[in-house]
Structure 1
Amino acid sequence: MDSHKGTIWVGLGVGVVVASSFLILGWFCILMWKRAKMKKEDSTFDLKMDDEFQKGIGPKRFCYNKLASATDNFEESQKIGQGGFGGVYKGYLKDIDSNVAIKRISRESKQGIKEYATEVKLISQLRHRNLVQLIGWCHRKKDLLLIYEFMQNGSLDSHLYRGKSVLAWHMRYNIAMDLASALLYLHEEWEQCVLHRDIKSSNIMLDTNFNAKVGDFGLARLVDHEKGSQTTVIAGTMGYLAPEYFTTGKATKESDIYSFGIVSLELVSGRKPVDLNAKEDQMAIYDWVWELYRLGRFVEVVDTKLRGVFDEMKMERLVVVGLWCANPNYSLRPSVRQLIQVLKFEAALPILPLQKMNDSSYYAPTKMNTVFGPVSSSSAVYSYPICV
């Protein structure tokens, strides 16, 4: 009897060992299959991206190791910018004997791959003196990198708000003209209309001579010139988003013009789009400037850091154009050609309505036909979720 029990226990032990072995082998096979699948997906991803990008001309693929070497392995001291998408690093590439700005998209960025692909495919086709030049790109598995020309004087917001330097008045006016020139190219002069969707001071870069160039096309969209709009998930940065964008869910030329208007008011005043320390009815830059405009107190809009050194006629032009572009009623905003004519003194100043332009009657909401979701950050000034 004891011998029989012993045989049973031995049999059970052997069965457990065999079952455990099969279980371990099964898990091992699953693990290896998953690794092989991931490797195949990464390889497929790389090949697919390569095939799409190589069709373009201009920007080329760079070796990841060279980019890592150029930035001291993405050392923190080399970082020159940070946003929700990831970091921007300064690097020197021996191949082209030049400093470059390398944007490394974070793996945590939910739309990182989409924005990366959009930027490479779109900006590689664009050629304009007021657009930041994309030099190259690199992806290794889920590491996504974009290589741009290095802009010696950084972003506009670093001068306006972070004390990098005090921009003289003529520089500010020229920056507005450069930004308008870039928008004219994007909206009307290229083969398709390009909606940037994220025009803001942190996406306006300044070269050695303080010429302005628009960067970061991760949120950009192409539309036909005749159509001029596209329904999308709302994306952008609070303070620069046109009010109708919330109700229609449509990105349009007019929504880019609105953002231009806000930047124009920033250039004059040196004030951020939203000032939480201001009076309740003056937190938004538009409300604050509009009230001073209504009272005829233009001079009070001007950035005090200029110490009174500015061209009063150009200042008035830029203030009025800023308010005109940021009109809550999108149908009353100018086209980019119209605002350029005013800034160049080729057309008279527009006569703005006497009633307060942020009255609710000025809004033109339509039926909401899109899903509101989190926006994507694409610069040092963060973007925020839109809640409804």
Structure 2
Amino acid sequence: RKRNVDDGEDNQGFNEYIDDEFEKGAGPKRFTYKELAQATNDFNDDQKLGQGGFGGVYKGFFRETSSYIAVKRVSKGSKQGIKEYASEVTIISRLRHRNLVQLLGWCHEKKELLLVYEYMPNGSLDSHLFKENNLLTWEFRFKIAQDLASGLLYLQEGWEQCVVHRDIKSSNIMLDLNFNAKIGDFGLARLVEHAKGSQTTVLAGTMGYMAPECATTGRASKESDVYSFGIVALEIACGRKPISLTAKEEVQVYLVQWVWDLYGNGKLLEAVDPRLCRDFDEQQMECLMIVGLWCAHPDENLRPSIRQVIHVLNSEAPLPALPPKMPVPTYFSPPANMRAVNGAGPDKGPNKNSSSYSNFTSSSAASSSASRSNMP
């Protein structure tokens, strides 16, 4: 009985916290569980759009407004799912931009945590890049890259705090009816003061899209989101995932390495998605691929800002001149126990990390091997 009382108190406290956070936002509304159950046919599997690590997403329909919705249902008992729910509440509820998936509302009743989003009829970008029966034309692809850059610019510069997404990848880029791209899934996102620029956190993200400094230091920043953008830009151009264990040659396993090698040998367009059948604008393709490499530079200090990316994609600035061989970073970090003791942030004394880049080393080979075993 005492446990039930405690559960009730915990639930009430969580409800008050969530309600308070949503009150700070302007748009999202509170839905009842009954409304969402009716809209999704009691969360029928036939309505399921996808399944994530912490719950399912269901298609719903509101008869009163004749509109479709997407409902994320957090798995019961998932502590990480609750954290991600709270993160979405505190961050995305305050954001408004045409290239972000709009949060319409929420529900927390009967120990259910539900988030309601605008429905994106064309699904996620990865489903169009990597499935045989879906083919995006080059015109749509280039526009999607521009949309993604526009959404990131808003997150990094368009609000009172910088939003570090930490999980930019093609499966989190959603497409509306007209194939406009919108960034979704803010469960791992963090708010960072503009003056600080980064945040040391537990390791988060998806292997293949994660910047090398994140895997080494746990530090998430605007620059690490730019790196992830670069990977997605290369996916859009090449129609390949960032890590491909079925590649014919070893050099083709890692997308960035493969494209950079082709760039250095003057054969960049050999990496283009063959499904496009050469039906693309060569100048735009070269631009997107070089921007992708620039963003995915192993040294975070040599990556562009997302504003610079937009200028180049819009032909308002020249293409960068990159080194013909892909640099590989080497990190000099204090011992893990020192970082734990001094874990206040990357800008404080022993916790600050320096990096340089050099030719391929045994240490970087080891990290590559590790990433291959932890591919998405």
- TM-score of the pair, normalised by structure 1: 0.84
Question: Which stretches in structure 2 are left out of the alignment for 5+ residues?
Answer: 344-370
Match of 1:229 among 198, 212, 234: 198
Larger RCO (alpha carbons 8 Å, 6+ apart): 1
Match of 1:281 in 2: 251
- Note if contact 1:328-1:363 (Cα within 8 Å) is conserved in structure 2: no
Match of 1:292 among 256, 262, 269: 262
**Could you say what secondary structure the match of 2:24 adopts?**
coil
1:203-242 alpha-carbon deviations (Å, 9 max, x no partner): 0001111110001111111111111100100111111000
Structure 1 108/293 Cα, relative in aligned 2: closer, same or farther at 3 Å? Answer: farther
TM alignment of 1:1-388, pairs within 5 A? 32-163=1-132, 165-278=134-247, 279-354=249-324, 356-359=325-328, 362-367=329-334, 369=339
- Amino acid corresponding to residue 298 of structure 1 in structure 2: L
- Amino acid corresponding to residue 128 of structure 2 in structure 1: H
Identity %: 60
* Per-residue deviation, 1:384: 11
Cα distance in 2, alignment partners of residues 163 and 77 from structure 1: 23
**Could you say what secondary structure the match of 1:230 adopts?**
strand
Cα distance in 2, alignment partners of residues 48 and 342 from structure 1: 43
RMSD across aligned positions (CA): 2.1
1:282-315 alpha-carbon deviations (Å, 9 max, x no partner): 2111011111111111221111111110000000
- TM-score of the pair, normalised by structure 2: 0.87
- Note if contact 2:55-2:81 (Cα within 8 Å) is conserved in structure 1: no
Cα distance in 2, alignment partners of residues 271 and 101 from structure 1: 28
- Amino acid corresponding to residue 19 of structure 2 in structure 1: D
- Amino acid corresponding to residue 305 of structure 1 in structure 2: R
The count of corresponding residues between Structure 1 and Structure 2 is 343
Cα distance in 2, alignment partners of residues 370 and 96 from structure 1: 52
* Per-residue deviation, 1:246: 1.9
Query: Which of the two has higher C-alpha Rg?
Result: 1
- Note if contact 1:42-1:141 (Cα within 8 Å) is conserved in structure 2: no
1:67-123 alpha-carbon deviations (Å, 9 max, x no partner): 111111111110111110211110002344310011111125331111111101211
Cα distance in 2, alignment partners of residues 36 and 183 from structure 1: 44
* Per-residue deviation, 1:365: 4.2
Cα distance in 1, alignment partners of residues 296 and 256 from structure 2: 7
User: Is 290-299 or 58-67 further displaced after alignment?
Assistant: 290-299
- Note if contact 1:248-1:370 (Cα within 8 Å) is conserved in structure 2: no
Structure 1 165/343 Cα, relative in aligned 2: closer, same or farther at 3 Å? Answer: same
* Per-residue deviation, 1:139: 1.0
Structure 1 348/52 Cα, relative in aligned 2: closer, same or farther at 3 Å? Answer: closer
**Could you say what secondary structure the match of 2:79 adopts?**
coil
